[in-house]
Amino acid sequence: MPVYVYRRSDGSTFELEQRMTAEPLTSCPISAQRVERVLQPFSARYTGTGFYVTDYPKGSRTREPAPATGKDL
């Protein structure tokens, strides 16, 4: 579940873990002040294999054979 940051009308903030489908709060559950959801930057997390250059070792590609020139006969 994502954690949302809310700003109270006095400028202080608090965090709340909510479902994405839940309606945003309109008032603080502690002080009953009016609140608004603060947008936070999103940072993607790349986990697993295939995301980094180091996951593909150099020389792992297969090369096509050179075309025959006929001089070997």
Whether the model clears a pTM of 0.75, i.e. scores above it, the answer is no
Segment 16-67, tens digit of pLDDT:
999 999 999 999 999 999 999 999 887 777 776 666 666 666 665 566 666 7
- pLDDT given at position 66: 67
pLDDT at 42: 78
**By the 8 A CB rule, do 4 and 19 touch?**
no
What does the alpha-carbon distance between residue 14 and residue 66 come to, in Å, rounded to a whole number?
66
Residues paired with residue 14 on neighbouring β-strands, in sequence order: 6
pLDDT value at residue 53: 66
By C-alpha distance, which of 34, 41, 3, 37 is closest to 20? 3
